[in-house]
Structures are given as structure tokens and as C-alpha cells.
């Protein structure tokens, strides 16, 4: 199919080799755009727009702390802090995180333990904690959550996380609430790899404030976080009595994922650091699509795309079309995706369906290598739910995969992960993702440029990309480096 240049929407994703993962939930970035109104106060705000992004977070990372089992922070959220939710399904909130992060001896795996105080509006606070281990870009975690723990804006609160060596667990205090996450529970999870915590050493202690999940019209948040003191193992580290934040004690950075209105070229670049992870991606989420059994994407992979990888590497370029569903009976999610992959020498087709609940996912997938797709050639990627036959049909160029819900149920049975009643799931959203994946070794790099021609849902054209810019009423754009 011939397509005119005026109808091409271009995504570019670039990634140089990044040596290590950083605990998925801690999700640190390097941009520094926030403002501390004083040495002990963090002020952040965000209101929803088409390109506002979901989150803005300010992080303080301690300097010179090399071997402790505890970080304890006395803090308060100023009464001027506010959060507004645009609908009953909104998750907008204010957060304060206190973390211990670790690296393994090979510097290839990460571990994090965190305590989180959440303010969800209407003078209501929740408490959340987790421990997680990450390797090869994949993270598994265990968590605890308590709702409505009491307290008011302006109250002084202690938030801490402590490693209890004797009981092989992390103890989390969030105000008057105490939660425990054990290493044994984490080690028992599929994907944890039976990790040995004795192989990990402390990397950082972190204090972080954030306005998060600003995702829909009417969502907004303003956080004024006052830090009164920070201690390690009961020893005062900083009482913030200086006129400014002490640069010998703290390094500070702010991540705001807001974006300027997008031109037809969207570029994501992540440069080499010693504390980054393996993947970089750009997501396009259609706005206002509330019910669909199919997404179909016409695109081409631009010949300027490149991949440099080691012989034993799984590095690749990938373009995904995805449908996501949410359960109406529990907190589980369901995903169905079709992926076009480039491994450095040829294109391949992969597909999967997956059920995730409480941080654990069970998946069944198919792969076809060496498919007849070339750079600069238009290809269609689609995923379709066939309700009559209880299956998903995945088309990736010339390749077709059919994966039944019964096949996934077999996998769930093998993992003792419960049953799948798909009638309890409703459509959540569709997604197009461009990604450079598994850049894990010295010298590896990838750059992906795709050009989108048309997107349809259930056979109805959603966008043919005729305009100079992305339509903010049709697309939510998110760039992230995992």
C-alpha cells in the first residue's frame, strides 16, 4: 500500500546501553525541574491536560550513607495541600515515599523496600508498603495496603522502613500503622528467581514526594511536604536547620512526565548512566474509546531504525498493539497484545494474553520468527477478541496467532493462580507502544522509528493522522524509561 508523507505520524525511541535496574516501583528519572520553596519543604503541583502526564515527583537521595537498616522521617503535609479527582474511577493522589534501595554484587539486580503515605482527598490518608526485586528488566513484589488510617493535613507523621534481620522481613511504619513484608513471601513468587538477599548491599536511602495518577479531566493535585528530620538507625542525619538543603547530605532531582504538544516526530532518548534500566518506550493511548474488541494499526518501521547487540543478547525493537481489560469482581487486569519485533537481522511476530493480580502475572504466548516484513514496508498489526470462540486473534503482518482463553486457564491451573471468567472483565483501554527492549550489555544500543498511517477500532477508523500534530482530544502520549 502506498501512503503519502503527509499522513505519517513518526515515533522515535532511542536507548544507549544502561547498566542496571533501579527497582521498578522506585522509577527514578534524572530531569531536575522542580522547586524546593525552602530547605525542608517540597512543593509540587499538577493539573490534567492532554499532555500533562500522570506524575510529578521530587526526590531527595542521601549522600554518604553506606550501611544502615533503617530510615525514619518525621514529616507533615501542609494544610494547603489539595487533591481533586475528576471522577469516581480516578486514582489522583498525593504521596510521600521513604525507601531503602539495594544492588546485588554483580550490579545487575535491584531491590527496594518502601513505606508510602497517601493522601486521597477529603482528609483521608492511606498506608502502603512494598518490597520488590528486579532483574533483567523484570520486577516482582509483595505489598500491603491499609485504607483510611486516620490523621489530618498538618499533622506530624513518622514514616519509616526497617530491615529486621532476625525475622527476615521489612517493617514499615506509616503514622500509627505498621505493615510487614517478608523476604520469604517475595522469594516464593514466580519470577523472583529464589534470590538471596545476602548478596545485596545498600545503595541509597530516599525520601520522595509526589502528585500522582493525574489522568483525566478534573484531576489535580498540589503537595506541600514539610520534612522535619531524617534519621538512620536511630542517629539523626538531618534536622533541616540550615538555610538551604545541605548539598553534602542530599542530591535532589525532580521528574515531571508532562509533555509539550507533540509534533509528528516523538523522540525519547536515554543516555548512559550507571543506574538506569533496560527498556525505553513511547505509549499512545486512544482517548474516549470505551468499548472495543479490536485495535488495528497500519504502520511501517523506518529504515533509519538500528539495533546493536551482543551475540547472547535478547535486545530488540518492538511495536505493540494491545487491548487491556479490568475485572469487575476483583483487582485483576487482563492484557492481549500483538508485537512486531526486530532482533537485529530479521523481523518476528509475538503475541500473548495475560492475567495479572496482586503483582503476579500468568501469560501464554506464541512466536513466529523470520516473517516477511521489511523496513519501509507498510504492515498491519492487530489484536481481536473473538467472543464466539473465546479466543484472541493476533495478526502481525503475514503471521496469524490464535490464543484461546482455555489455554491461559491451563497456565493458571498450573500456577495455582485461580480461574478466569472473562465475562467479569470489561474493556479498559487500547494502546500502541514503540519500544527498545533489553539493552543490558556494554556496547548495546537501539533506535526505533515507526510511521503510523491508520488506527481503527472494530473496523471503524479512529485516526488517519492527517494533521501536523497529534490530536490532543484523541491521544494521550507517555514516554518512559523502565
Three state DSSP letters for 38-94: ECCEEEEEEECCCCCCCCEEEEEEECCCCCCCEEEEEEEECCCCEEECCCCCCCCEE
What is residue 244's predicted lDDT score, i.e. its pLDDT?
Answer: 83
Other beta carbons within 10 Å of 235: 9
Of 280 and 268, the one with more pLDDT: 280
* 248, 312: one domain: no
Cα–Cα dist 425/467, whole Å? 35
* 239, 343: one domain: no
Cα–Cα dist 9/468, whole Å? 9
Of 393 and 274, the one with more pLDDT: 393
What domain count does the chain have?
2
Q: What is the mean pLDDT of residues 448-465?
A: 92
Q: 3-state class of 142 per DSSP?
A: strand
Q: Is the pLDDT of residue 83 over 90?
A: yes
The tens digit of pLDDT for each residue in 353-367 reads: 999 987 789 999 999
The tens digit of pLDDT for each residue in 229-278 reads: 999 999 999 999 887 889 999 999 888 766 655 433 344 343 434 445 56
Cα–Cα dist 78/100, whole Å? 25
For the chain, the residue count is 482
Of 359 and 63, the one with more pLDDT: 63
Residue 356 is assigned to a structural domain of this protein: yes
Residue 460 is assigned to a structural domain of this protein: yes
The DSSP-derived string for 351-417 is EEEEEEETTEEEEEEEEE-S-S--TT--EEEEEEEEGGGTEEEEEETTEEEEEEHHHHHHHHHHTT-
Q: What is the mean pLDDT of residues 395-404?
A: 98
Confidence of residue 216 (pLDDT cuts 50, 70, 90): confident
The tens digit of pLDDT for each residue in 107-144 reads: 778 999 999 999 999 999 999 999 999 876 678 999 99
Q: Is residue 181 within a helix (H) or strand (E), and if so which, with residue range?
A: strand 177-182
Of 48 and 165, the one with more pLDDT: 165
- Cα separation values, 45 from 219, 256, 258, 263, 265, Å: 11, 10, 12, 25, 28
* 360, 430: one domain: yes
Q: 3-state class of 184 per DSSP?
A: helix
Residue 262 is assigned to a structural domain of this protein: no
* 43, 180: one domain: yes
- Cα separation values, 443 from 68, 301, 316, 331, 437, Å: 34, 23, 14, 41, 14
Q: What is the mean pLDDT of residues 61-75?
A: 96
* 336, 428: one domain: yes
The tens digit of pLDDT for each residue in 174-211 reads: 999 999 999 999 988 877 766 889 999 999 999 999 99
Residue 220 is assigned to a structural domain of this protein: yes
User: Which CATH number do you get for residue 62?
Assistant: 2.60.120.200
What is residue 189's predicted lDDT score, i.e. its pLDDT?
Answer: 86
* 41, 77: one domain: yes
Residue 268 is assigned to a structural domain of this protein: no
**How buried is residue 86: exposed, middle or buried, by Cβ count under 10 Å (0-12/13-18/19+)?**
middle
What is residue 28's predicted lDDT score, i.e. its pLDDT?
Answer: 37
- Cα separation values, 20 from 86, 250, 441, Å: 37, 22, 9
What is residue 440's predicted lDDT score, i.e. its pLDDT?
Answer: 81
Which pTM was predicted?
Answer: 0.55
* Segments forming the whole domain that contains residue 427: 5-16+278-481
What is residue 38's predicted lDDT score, i.e. its pLDDT?
Answer: 39
Confidence of residue 50 (pLDDT cuts 50, 70, 90): low
* 229, 137: one domain: yes
What is residue 477's predicted lDDT score, i.e. its pLDDT?
Answer: 80
Alpha-carbon radius of gyration of the chain: 23
What is residue 235's predicted lDDT score, i.e. its pLDDT?
Answer: 96
* 289, 249: one domain: no
Residue 30 is assigned to a structural domain of this protein: no
Mean pLDDT rounded to a whole number for the chain = 85
Residue 40 is assigned to a structural domain of this protein: yes
* 302, 232: one domain: no
What is residue 47's predicted lDDT score, i.e. its pLDDT?
Answer: 86
Strands (E), 259-378: 265-270, 280-286, 294-301, 306-308, 316-327, 333-342, 347-357, 360-368
What is residue 444's predicted lDDT score, i.e. its pLDDT?
Answer: 83
Closest C-alpha to 375, from 308, 430, 305, 443: 305
**How buried is residue 121: exposed, middle or buried, by Cβ count under 10 Å (0-12/13-18/19+)?**
middle
Residue 362 is assigned to a structural domain of this protein: yes
* 79, 125: one domain: yes
* 200, 338: one domain: no
Q: Residues 13-24, buried b or exposed e (16+ Cβ, 10 A)?
A: bbbbbbbbbbbb
- C-alpha cell of 449? 522509528
41-50, 84-93, 242-251: least confident range? 41-50
Q: Are strands 157-164 and 56-62 parallel, antiparallel or unpaired?
A: unpaired
* 358, 457: one domain: yes
Cell numbers 502526564: residue: 53
Amino acid at each position: 500500500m502506498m501512503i503519502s508523507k503527509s499522513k505519517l505520524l513518526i515515533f522515535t525511541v532511542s536507548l544507549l546501553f544502561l547498566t542496571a535496574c533501579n527497582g521498578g516501583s522506585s522509577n527514578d528519572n534524572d530531569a531536575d525541574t522542580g522547586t524546593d520553596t525552602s530547605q525542608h519543604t517540597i512543593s509540587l503541583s499538577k493539573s490534567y491536560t492532554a499532555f500533562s502526564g500522570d506524575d510529578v515527583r521530587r526526590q531527595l537521595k542521601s549522600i554518604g550513607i553506606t550501611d544502615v537498616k533503617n530510615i525514619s522521617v518525621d514529616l507533615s503535609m501542609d494544610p494547603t495541600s489539595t487533591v481533586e479527582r475528576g471522577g469516581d474511577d480516578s486514582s489522583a493522589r498525593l504521596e510521600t515515599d521513604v525507601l531503602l534501595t539495594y544492588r546485588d554484587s554483580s550490579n545487575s539486580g535491584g531491590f527496594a523496600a518502601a513505606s508510602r503515605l497517601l493522601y486521597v482527598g477529603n482528609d483521608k490518608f492511606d498506608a502502603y508498603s512494598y518490597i520488590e526485586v528486579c532483574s533483567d528488566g523484570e520486577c516482582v513484589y509483595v505489598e500491603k495496603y491499609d485504607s483510611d488510617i486516620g490523621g489530618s493535613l498538618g499533622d506530624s507523621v513518622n514514616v519509616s522502613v526497617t530491615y529486621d534481620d532476625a525475622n527476615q522481613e521489612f517493617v514499615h511504619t506509616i503514622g500509627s500503622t505498621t505493615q510487614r513484608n517478608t523476604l520469604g513471601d517475595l522469594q516464593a513468587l514466580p519470577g523472583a528467581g529464589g534470590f538471596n538477599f545476602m548478596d545485596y548491599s545498600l545503595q541509597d536511602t530516599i525520601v520522595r514526594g509526589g502528585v500522582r495518577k493525574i489522568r483525566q479531566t478534573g484531576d489535580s493535585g498540589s503537595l506541600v511536604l514539610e520534612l522535619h528530620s531524617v534519621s538512620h538507625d536511630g542517629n539523626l542525619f538531618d534536622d533541616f536547620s540550615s538555610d538551604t538543603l545541605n548539598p553534602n547530605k542530599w542530591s535532589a532531582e525532580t521528574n515531571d512526565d508532562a509533555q509539550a504538544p507533540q509534533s509528528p516526530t516523538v523522540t525519547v532518548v536515554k543516555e548512559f548512566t550507571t543506574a538506569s534500566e533496560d527498556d525505553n518506550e513511547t505509549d499512545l493511548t486512544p482517548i474516549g474509546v470505551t468499548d472495543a474488541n479490536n485495535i488495528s494499526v497500519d504502520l511501517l518501521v523506518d529504515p533509519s531504525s538500528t539495533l546493536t547487540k551482543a551475540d547472547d543478547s535478547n535486545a530488540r525493537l518492538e511495536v505493540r498493539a494491545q487491548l487491556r481489560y479490568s475485572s469487575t469482581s476483583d483487582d485483576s487486569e487482563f492484557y492481549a497484545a500483538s508485537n512486531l519485533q526486530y532482533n537485529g537481522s530479521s523481523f518476528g511476530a509475538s503475541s500473548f494474553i495475560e492475567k495479572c493480580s496482586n503483582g503476579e502475572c500468568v501469560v501464554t504466548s506464541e512466536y513466529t520468527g523470520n516473517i516477511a516484513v521489511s523496513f519501509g514496508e507498510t504492515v498491519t498489526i492487530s489484536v481481536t477478541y473473538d467472543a464466539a470462540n473465546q479466543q484472541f486473534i493476533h495478526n502481525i503482518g503475514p503471521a496469524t496467532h490464535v490464543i484461546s482463553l482455555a489455554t491461559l486457564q491451563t497456565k493458571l491451573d498450573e500456577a495455582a493462580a485461580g480461574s478466569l471468567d472473562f465475562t467479569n472483565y470489561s474493556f479498559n483501554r487500547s494502546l500502541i507502544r514503540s519500544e527498545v527492549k533489553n539493552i543490558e550489555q556494554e556496547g548495546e544500543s537501539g533506535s526505533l522509528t515507526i510511521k503510523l498511517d491508520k488506527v481503527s477500532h472494530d473496523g471503524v477508523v479512529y485516526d488517519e493522522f492527517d494533521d501536523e500534530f497529534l490530536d490532543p482530544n484523541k491521544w494521550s502520549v507517555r514516554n518512559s524509561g523502565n
